[in-house]
């Protein structure tokens, strides 16, 4: 969908529908709403007095203009109570409205922007509209599918004068950039594993780097062997698909900027290996590279937004397959940093590839490292599909992550990572074992990773519950959510 900003009123706008936000408090009318109410002869107040539409958040109501204005329809969009109005409420309302307009089969819409609207709200409306309309139809061949035919092609923000137009355009541009990074992450995560191998994921990252002005380096199997990425190679050895290690780098102009490293788990399909998963729901394990997808989507946006901080995106990509060559429970491998790991469960493979990635990150002398991984089913038991589990070693970095999460509504909840939990991942025959000794599975994963995130501030986000299957938001569809892109971009921009 194309989103533009235009100076002018709504009355003569040639569009399929004028959408206008309405607060639940009937005594508050924005200037555009008052003007539409006047043009329609008081019909909005009439509908509200009847109780057919109250302005409740995420509700809509259609009105037909009968020639009173150029547009044949007006869509009333509920924003809820004034004191509850936040950027997230606007994001959800915009997403709900965009879906309603598309599902009516309409292709153009315009929104008069009240003077009270902040740039943050305009950005949120842009994000919500674009994210809500997402569909993954790449592998559908039925051209007669009604859902594929319905497409909202353009959305116009109408502003009163040229003085505020530039501000609104800037907010729209930023919203587009961040939404497009999220859509990219969704596309990557939704791809079936036979269309997105580790090699193909690396090729996608290379393309993103070329378009976003990033530096990109890819390590193939031979290079990984040469450099000593032994835990990544151990996970990959059961598959015919070779692993890849992806490095994306954004460097701002000037000198002396802090370096932040974003690390993504890139298991493009996870069978569990020799510790084979049950068949139910295994098809969803194409999403096990959602951490990698979030890092690639965030790096695309960062390259375009150009914050004043150096950002390195690091992705360890592999399949986890069972075969005669697969790593076995009880095997011991040595990580990139030199620590030995006893593999008690081959289905705890994400932390193995991250061990090498976190070890690699140390060379950048980062001021902060954040990894995202669909690491444990236990985090869903703990937090459901609402928030990611957050653990770390640095209070300041954790505070920054939490702040970014609040601003973007990509929720996180901090779990303890006390030294007491270290006992659970101690091995009898190696430095560390890859599962805990029972209970607190999500924290055990964090305790394991902590052993490899030494020498720098670090936060781990377990996104197994938020990477897909999220419900309740109008701008997050079925399948991949793209969780983490907006959070990471906000974190970097606030740095």
Which CATH number belongs to the domain containing residue 166 in this structure? 3.40.220.10
Position 187 in a domain? no
Number of H helices, E strands in the chain: 15, 17
Position 184 in a domain? no
Query: Which residues, other chains included, contact 32 with Cβ-Cβ below 8 Å and sequence gap of 6+?
Result: 10, 20, 112, 113, 114, 158
Query: How many other C-beta atoms lie within 10 A of the C-beta of residue 114?
Result: 17
Structural domain boundaries, residue 74 = 2-179
Q: Using the structure block, give the residue that is written with the tokens 């997230």.
A: 88
Are 196 and 174 part of one and the same domain?
no
Are 385 and 356 part of one and the same domain?
yes
Are 175 and 205 part of one and the same domain?
no
Widest Cα–Cα separation across the chain: 81
Position 443 in a domain? yes
Closest by Cα among 378, 403, 411, 396 to 459: 396
Using only C-alpha atoms, the chain has a radius of gyration, in whole angstroms, of 24
Let me know: does 151 contact 102? Beta carbons within 8 Å: yes
Which CATH number belongs to the domain containing residue 462 in this structure? 3.40.630.10
CA–CA distance, 422 with 412 (Å, rounded to integer):
22
Helices 485-493, 162-190: axis angle to 10 degrees equals: 130
Position 12 in a domain? yes
Terminal CA-CA length for the chain: 31
Position 369 in a domain? yes
Q: How many domains does the chain have?
A: 2
pLDDT per 10-residue tile (average), the chain, 495 residues: 95 97 81 93 93 94 97 97 94 97 97 94 98 94 70 96 94 98 98 98 98 98 98 98 98 91 98 96 97 98 98 98 98 97 98 98 98 97 97 98 98 97 97 94 98 98 96 90 98 97
Closest by Cα among 190, 91, 126, 268 to 482: 190
Let me know: does 336 contact 360? Beta carbons within 8 Å: yes
Are 197 and 288 part of one and the same domain?
yes
CA–CA distance, 72 with 70 (Å, rounded to integer):
6
Are 157 and 201 part of one and the same domain?
no
Let me know: does 273 contact 252? Beta carbons within 8 Å: no
Are 197 and 116 part of one and the same domain?
no
Are 227 and 125 part of one and the same domain?
no
CA–CA distance, 231 with 126 (Å, rounded to integer):
42
Instruction: Specify the DSSP element, H or E, that contains 348.
Output: none
Position 62 in a domain? yes
Position 186 in a domain? no
User: Which of residues 158, 179, 200 is at a domain's end?
Assistant: 179
Are 279 and 169 part of one and the same domain?
no
* 391 token code pair: 């653990």
Are 137 and 251 part of one and the same domain?
no
* Residues in a beta bridge with 332: 342
Let me know: does 225 contact 214? Beta carbons within 8 Å: no
Are 173 and 198 part of one and the same domain?
no
Are 414 and 343 part of one and the same domain?
yes
| Model pLDDT, residue 29 | 76
Let me know: does 295 contact 370? Beta carbons within 8 Å: no
| Model pLDDT, residue 147 | 62
Are 215 and 332 part of one and the same domain?
yes
Tell me the catalytic residues.
277, 351
User: Which of residues 156, 179, 202 is at a domain's end?
Assistant: 179
* 219 token code pair: 């390590």
User: Which of residues 150, 179, 208 is at a domain's end?
Assistant: 179
Position 72 in a domain? yes
């Amino acid at each position: 969908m194309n989103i533009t900003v235009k100076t002018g009123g709504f009355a003569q706008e040639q569009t399929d529908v004028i959408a206008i936000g309405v607060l639940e408090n009937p005594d508050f009318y924005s200037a555009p709403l008052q003007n539409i109410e006047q043009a329609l002869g008081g019909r909005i107040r009439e509908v509200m007095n009847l109780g057919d539409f109250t302005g409740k958040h995420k509700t809509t109501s259609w009105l037909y203009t009968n020639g009173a204005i150029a547009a044949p329809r007006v869509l009333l969009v509920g924003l809820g109570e004034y004191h509850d109005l936040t950027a997230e409420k606007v994001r959800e309302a915009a997403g709900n409205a965009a879906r309603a307009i598309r599902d009516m089969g309409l292709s153009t819409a315009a929104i008069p922007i009240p003077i009270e609207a902040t740039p943050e709200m305009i950005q949120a409306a842009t994000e919500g509209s674009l994210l809500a309309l997402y569909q993954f139809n790449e592998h559908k061949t039925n051209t007669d599918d009604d859902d594929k035919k319905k497409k909202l092609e353009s959305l116009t923000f109408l502003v009163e004068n040229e003085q505020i137009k530039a501000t609104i355009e800037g907010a729209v541009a930023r919203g587009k950039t961040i939404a497009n990074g999220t859509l990219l992450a969704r596309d990557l995560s939704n791809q079936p594993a036979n269309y997105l191998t580790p090699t193909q994921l690396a090729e996608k990252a290379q393309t993103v780097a070329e378009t976003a002005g990033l530096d990109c380096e890819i390590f193939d199997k031979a290079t990984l062997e040469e450099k000593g990425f032994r835990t990544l190679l151990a996970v990959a050895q059961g598959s015919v698909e070779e692993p890849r290690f992806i490095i994306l780098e954004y460097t701002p102009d000037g000198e002396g900027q802090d370096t932040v490293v974003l690390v993504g788990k890139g298991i493009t399909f996870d069978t569990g290996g020799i510790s084979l998963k049950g068949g139910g729901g295994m098809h969803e394990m194409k999403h096990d590279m959602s951490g990698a997808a979030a890092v690639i989507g965030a790096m695309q946006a960062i390259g375009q937004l150009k914050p004043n901080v150096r950002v390195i995106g690091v992705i360890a990509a592999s399949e986890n397959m069972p075969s005669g060559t697969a790593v076995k429970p009880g095997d011991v491998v040595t990580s990139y940093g030199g620590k030995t790991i006893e593999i008690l469960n081959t289905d705890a493979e994400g932390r193995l590839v991250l061990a090498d990635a976190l070890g690699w990150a140390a060379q950048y002398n980062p001021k902060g490292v954040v990894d995202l991984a669909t690491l444990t089913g236990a985090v869903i038991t703990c937090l459901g599909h609402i928030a990611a589990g957050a653990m770390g070693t640095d209070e300041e970095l954790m505070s920054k992550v939490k702040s970014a999460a609040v601003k973007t509504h990509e929720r996180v909840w901090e779990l303890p990572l006390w030294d007491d939990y270290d006992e659970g991942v101690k091995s009898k025959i190696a430095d560390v074992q890859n599962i805990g000794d029972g209970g607190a599975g999500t924290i055990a994963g964090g305790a394991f990773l902590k052993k490899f995130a030494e020498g720098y501030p670090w936060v781990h986000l377990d996104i197994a519950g938020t990477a897909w299957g999220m419900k309740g938001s109008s701008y997050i569809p079925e399948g991949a959510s793209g969780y983490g892109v907006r959070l990471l971009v906000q974190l970097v921009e606030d740095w």
